[in-house]
Structures are given as C-alpha cells and as structure tokens.
Amino acid sequence: MPGLLTGKRVLIQGVANRFSLCAGIAASMAREGAELCLTYQNERLREGVEKCAETFPGSFTLPLDLQEDDQIARVAQKLTDRWGTLDGLVVGAAFARTEELEGEFIAVSRDGFHLALDVSCYGLIAMTRACRPLLVAAGGGSVLTLTYMASERVVPNYNVMAVAKGALETTVRYLANDLGPQNIRVNAISSGPVRTAAASGVKGVGGMIGEVADRSPLRRKTDRDQIGDVAAFLASDLARAITGEIVFADNGYHIMGV
C-alpha cells in the first residue's frame, strides 16, 4: 500500500543528528515513501547527517549554511540537476548564542539579535525563494518550518529566540499569501519542548519537558516521532487545504491556563 508521500521529493534542512526534530521528520517522511535530500551545515555535522541519511533508502546529503547565499543557490541548482522538481521543503534550523538566552532579555546585543533573526527567520525566506522554481515545476508543494509557543508567551531563558520565532510565524503567513497562487503551501509546526542538541542551550528545558508531561491534556511528553508524523501529514495531499497555519503539536499544552 503506497504511503502518503510516495513519489514525492523533499529537501530537509536542520538535521543535526539522529535525535533532532528534523531527523524525526525525515524518518516519518521516508516511512511514507518520500525521497529525501538532507543538508548539513558544516564538516563537523557532516558525519552525523550522513549516518542519518543512510537509514533512509535513496536519500542523499548536501552542504548548506543558511547564512551563505551562494550555498543556498548551489543546493537549488544541484536539486534542479538531479530531480528537476521538488514537492516539499523543510527548514528547521534555529540558532542564538548561549549568552543571549540567559539573564534579562533587555540585555540582548545588536549582533546577537541580528544573528538569531538571520538564521532562525530569514533562512526560511532565502530557502523558499531559491526552491520556488522547483516547487512550481512540481505543480506546487509544501514548505514547513518549526516554531515554539514562546513566540506568544514569555518563557524563561528563551529571550531573543522567542522574538525570532514570532518573526518566523509572521513570515509563514506572508509567504503563504505570496505562494498560494502557485499551489505552494507554507505552514509551521509549534512543537512542545523536546530534548535535542538545540534545546540544550535553553536553561531549564528538562523542567519544561516534565511540565508538559504533567499538565498537558494528553499527559505525555512531546517527542520527535510525533512532530515527524504531523510534518508528514502537512506535506501530503491530505493537507492540501491548509496553509499559513501554526499547527500546535504539544499534546495540547498550549491551551492550558494556570
């Protein structure tokens, strides 16, 4: 029986290792039949991403730093040469310096603010722009990114990353409006806290994970498999009427008050 994504080709940016949320997305999409390209930011991360790719038959890897426009262009060209079309794009990277995630938000540096917004928000714009011709050639497709509810509520130690996520969510809506006429959908998944390498930079993440397990309506932690399955659905034709949305996948925690 064919999977939800059989015959679809998807580029996934943001896999750091097999524990990352984007690795969970890759696993779910591969299970549903997608052909994958995974990117790695630098040589330090290359081996981990390549090992992850080896678990998904037919997948391959490419280098990509979201702050390097020439690398973004090269990835788009390589996909054009190899595939010619693209059905899905996942841009999952986010970054802020550790010192910008501590103490008072008012102390954020100008450089730190620019860096967080550049990687965590502008990267989605740059990648979507570069891949748009490939998505159009496929007759449309899905663009996905990852966010967190700190964009709407104050979460201790999230600081400048919360601002970046707020900008990212607004970007999702504007991109959805731009690209809708070309049958390209743009959505974000708002994940509950998950213990990943990226999350380790936020003090108290362990307590946040426990809080979700204790207080969410479904009384369980968020994990990468849950996020992967939501992403596979959003990238599939079953979600063809959904765009410009922030889809919460946190076991309902975001609905709780006190």
User: Where in the chain does DSSP place strands (E)?
Assistant: 9-13, 35-40, 60-63, 88-91, 141-147, 184-191, 246-249
The ranges of the chain with pLDDT < 70 are: 195-206, 258
- The CATH architecture annotation of domain 9-255 reads 3-Layer(aba) Sandwich (3.40)
174 as an active site residue: the answer is no
Please classify residue 2 by burial: count the beta carbons closer than 10 Å to its beta carbon, then call 0-12 exposed, 13-18 middle and 19+ buried: exposed
Please report how many Cα atoms fall inside a 13 Å half-sphere around the Cα of residue 161, on the Cβ side.
24
Q: Which of 40, 158, 174, 253 is catalytic?
A: 158
Q: Domain-by-domain residue ranges, the chain?
A: 9-255
Q: Which of 40, 148, 174, 253 is catalytic?
A: 148
Q: pLDDT tens digits, residue range 150-179?
A: 999 998 889 999 999 999 999 999 999 999
At 208 the pLDDT is 73
Cα torsion 189, 192, 196, 202: sign: positive
Q: Is 187 helix (H, G, I), strand (E, B) or coil?
A: strand
Cα 207 from Cα 35, distance rounded (Å):
37
At 198 the pLDDT is 59
Starting at the edge strand that comes first in sequence, how are the strands of the sheet with 60-63 ordered? 60-63, 35-40, 9-13, 88-91, 141-147, 184-191, 246-249
Cα 149 from Cα 138, distance rounded (Å):
32
Greatest Cα-to-Cα distance within the chain, rounded to the nearest angstrom: 55
At 257 the pLDDT is 80
At 193 the pLDDT is 87
At 197 the pLDDT is 55
Cα 140 from Cα 239, distance rounded (Å):
13
DSSP character for 102? S
158 as an active site residue: the answer is yes
